[in-house]
Each structure stands twice: as C-alpha cells, then as structure tokens.
C-alpha cells in the first residue's frame, strides 16, 4: 500500500515510526499547506536511510494527482477531515484519517457514500483497538473468562489540555471537548469489546468560561470556553450490556481503571485505550486478588498506522477492522450522547457497525 500523507503536524511522527517497521506499507509522499513542514518531514524520513527512492514533499493537489499514491493518510485538523477525504476519494484514492471521521455525521455519511460509489476504501483511527491491550481483553471476554458481560465503565479525566498544549483553543470550541477529543478511543474500545450501541442517555456541564494557557509563547493568555467540558452518559449496547462513560476536562485525577468490564463470573480491568498495549487484569468470582493475564491477541509492538497495514491486507469487499463504518458508528454514538445531554432525553443510535473481527496474536514488524 503506497501512502501519501496530507498534514504534517505533531502526530505525523508516530505514524513515521510505525511505517519504518511495517511490511506492506510504503510512504511515498507528504504534503501540508505549510511546505516547510512537509519538507521537514520528508527530510527526516530520507535521513533515516529509507529505500525505494525516499519520500518527496509536494503540494496537496500534486499529492492527490500522484499515480503512485494508493491511499491518502489524512492528518489534518478535525474540521478539515471531510473536505480532504472527499478530495482524495474524488481522485480515486482510498483514505485513512485521524479521528474523528468527520466533524458531523452528515459530513461523515457523505464520505462513506462517495467512497462506496468510487469503489475505494475508508479507514479511520483509532487503531489502538488492534493492539495487544484491547485484543487480549476481548479474547478474555470471548473465551467466557468473566461469564456473561453485564456492564462496563469507561473513565477519562484530566484538568485540561491547556496546561500542556501551547495552542489549545480548538479543544474548547465547537467540535472539541473531552468527548469528541478522547471519546473515540473509549467508544471504539467499548464497541470492540461489547458490540454496537443502540441508545444513549447523557448529561453535560462546564465549570469555567475561560481557560489559561500554561505553556509556550502564549502562556498566561486566556481563551474562551464555548463547549461542555464534562460529559457523562449511559450507552446501551445491542447485547443489553450497559456502559457508563465519563469524559472530563474538569477533574484532576482518578483511581478508576480506564475501562472495566463486569461479568457474571468476574471483572476485567482493561488497559488505556489510548495505547496499543498494557496489562489486562481479571478478578474472578471467589478469587482473592487481581491476576494479570498473559498477552494472547492483537498486533505485537504496534503503533499508529497499523490500521493502514490491516486495511491493506483486508480482502476486497470486506470492511477493515479500523474501518469507516465503525468510525461512523462511534461518531454517531458521541453525537447522540451530546444531543441527549442537551435535550434531557434518551436518544436512539440509528447507525450500526458489526463488531470488528478479532486480531489473533500477530507480529507484523518487518
């Protein structure tokens, strides 16, 4: 799979690290509205001694027209995800984007519809669910280790990204907030573990109308808060399992596991869904202490970009594990949760996504 990257911001480094070790994925070009950033990324890659002629820095339109680009990796800001994806699809390219798939489900639906008409494939982060952490937990559930799943909790709290991010404005504007920023990791993991969601009930609040930037050249500058910064809700899975979700930019810390799954015969403590690995622990009914499970499933040593390698090896006509249908469902769940929080009523989730197939224990590093 020959890949061209559009968007050379901070996250690109994590993809480059994966591409250097993955077989079946070859980076050929990078582009950015700031050509200096694109040139810097190309130089970093080429200085690493890569083969196949290296990587070229080009303009966005030139990359989209390049015949040697099979897939566009869309690393632009969330507000531009749909626009760039649609241009790539119109150029006959498959596309894999950073989360979320688009800013709204209306935009996301158009991306999927036009990709289907063009006969190209859509993939989307997060692909953290393909790592050994979430996949080992999934195998434990599928093997019946905790009996019948009954409920789950998913918790992410932080006092706010303005403490470390030098330009955190977009986190506090429409399209930002803790749910849309971090929720894709947690909701994707819950769907991977427990299946799709059919309805949600939510509530939300915010504690401050301003935030103070804590680092960088703008340190001390106040920025407005235009969105809810604490979101909580209950997700009703098609299986009947109830998941309680807490996403906050207002709280300081928590002792809670990132995700816990409670079953009739035990409880699983699932590792951080923002990472690819981590320990999965179980407390069995009648047991005396938590046990750490051996790694038993998932891509070993994986990182951002493994979803592209997985997409490249997916048989034609099949949905990739980190595919557009799952990403659309996750966005629909989050959008519905915010709708519920503002209306005070339960909201049905109308989209459906098949639970992605499990990843056997696999090492794809070349």
As a three-state string, the secondary structure of the chain is CEEEEECCCCCHHHHHHHHCCECCCEEEEEECCCHHHHHHHHHHHHHCCCCCCCCEEECHHHHHHCCCCCEEEECCCHHHHHHHHHHHHHCCCEEEECCCCCCCHHHHHHHHHHHHHHCCCEEECCCHHHEHHHHHHHHHHHCCCCCCEEEEEEEEECCCHHHCCCCCHHHHCCCCCHHHHHHHHHHHHHHHHHCCEEEEEEEEECCCCEEECCCCCCCCCEEECCCCCEEEEEEEECCCCEEEEEEECCCCCCCCCCEEEEECCEEEEECCCCCCCCCCEEEECCCCCCEECCCCECECCCCCCHHHHHHHCCCCCCCCCCEHHHHHHHHHHHHHHHHHHHHCCCEECCCCCCCCCCCECECCEC
Rounded to two decimals, the pTM is 0.94
Helix axes 105-118, 81-90, angle to 10 degrees: 10
Domain range for 262: 129-299+322-348
The number of residues in the chain equals: 366
Residues 252 and 339 in one domain: yes
| 307 lies in some domain | no
Residues 195 and 335 in one domain: yes
Give the CATH number for residue 116: 3.40.50.720
What is the model's pLDDT at position 194? 98
Residues 34 and 162 in one domain: no
Residues 108 and 221 in one domain: no
Q: What is the mean pLDDT of each run of 10 residues along the chain (366 residues)?
A: 94 94 93 96 83 83 97 93 97 96 96 97 98 98 98 97 91 90 96 98 95 95 96 97 98 95 98 97 97 98 96 93 98 97 97 95 89
Mind listing the pLDDT tens digit for each residue in 287-324? Answer: 999 999 999 999 999 999 999 999 999 998 899 999 99
Residues 170 and 115 in one domain: no
Residues 81 and 229 in one domain: no
What is the model's pLDDT at position 60? 96
Domains of the chain: total = 2
Q: Which of 65, 98, 124 finishes a domain?
A: 124
What is the model's pLDDT at position 79? 86
- The tokens describing 182, both together, are 């971090």
Residues 133 and 120 in one domain: no
What is the model's pLDDT at position 365? 85
Residue with tokens 């994590």: 14
């Amino acid at each position: 799979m020959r890949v061209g990257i559009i968007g050379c911001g901070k996250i690109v480094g994590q993809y480059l690290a994966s591409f250097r070790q993955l077989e079946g994925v070859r980076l050929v070009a990078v582009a950015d509205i700031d050509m200096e950033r694109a040139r810097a990324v190309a130089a970093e890659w080429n200085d690493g001694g890569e083969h196949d002629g290296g990587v070229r820095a080009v303009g966005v339109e030139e990359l989209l027209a390049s015949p040697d680009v099979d897939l566009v990796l869309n690393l632009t800001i969330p507000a531009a995800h749909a626009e760039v994806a649609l241009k790539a699809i119109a150029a006959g390219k498959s596309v894999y984007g950073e989360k979320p798939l688009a800013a709204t489900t209306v935009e996301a639906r158009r991306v999927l519809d036009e990709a289907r008409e063009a006969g190209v494939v859509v993939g989307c982060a997060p692909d953290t669910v393909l790592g050994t952490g979430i996949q080992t937990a999934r195998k434990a559930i599928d093997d019946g280790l905790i009996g019948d799943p009954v409920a789950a909790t998913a918790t992410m709290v932080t006092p706010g990204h303005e403490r470390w991010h030098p330009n955190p404005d977009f986190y506090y504007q429409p399209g930002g907030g803790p749910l849309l920023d971090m929720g894709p990791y947690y909701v994707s993991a819950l769907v991977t573990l427990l299946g799709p969601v059919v309805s949600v009930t939510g509530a939300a609040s915010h504690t401050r109308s301003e935030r103070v930037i804590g680092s960088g050249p703008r340190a001390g500058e106040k920025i407005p808060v235009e969105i809810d910064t604490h979101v909580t809700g209950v997700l009703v899975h098609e299986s009947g399992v109830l998941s309680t979700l807490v996403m906050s930019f207002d709280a300081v810390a928590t002792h809670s596991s990132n995700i816990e799954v409670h079953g009739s015969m035990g409880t699983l403590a699932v590792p951080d869904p923002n990472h690819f690995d981590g320990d999965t622990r179980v407390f069995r009914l009648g047991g005396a202490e938590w046990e750490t499970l051996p790694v038993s499933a998932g891509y070993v040593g994986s990182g951002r970009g493994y979803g592209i390698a997985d997409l490249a090896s997916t048989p034609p006509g099949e949905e990739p594990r980190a595919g557009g249908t799952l990403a659309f469902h996750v966005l629909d769940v989050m959008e519905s949760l915010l709708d519920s929080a503002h209306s005070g009523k339960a909201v049905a989730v109308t989209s459906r996504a098949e639970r992605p197939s499990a990843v056997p224990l696999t090492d794809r590093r070349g």
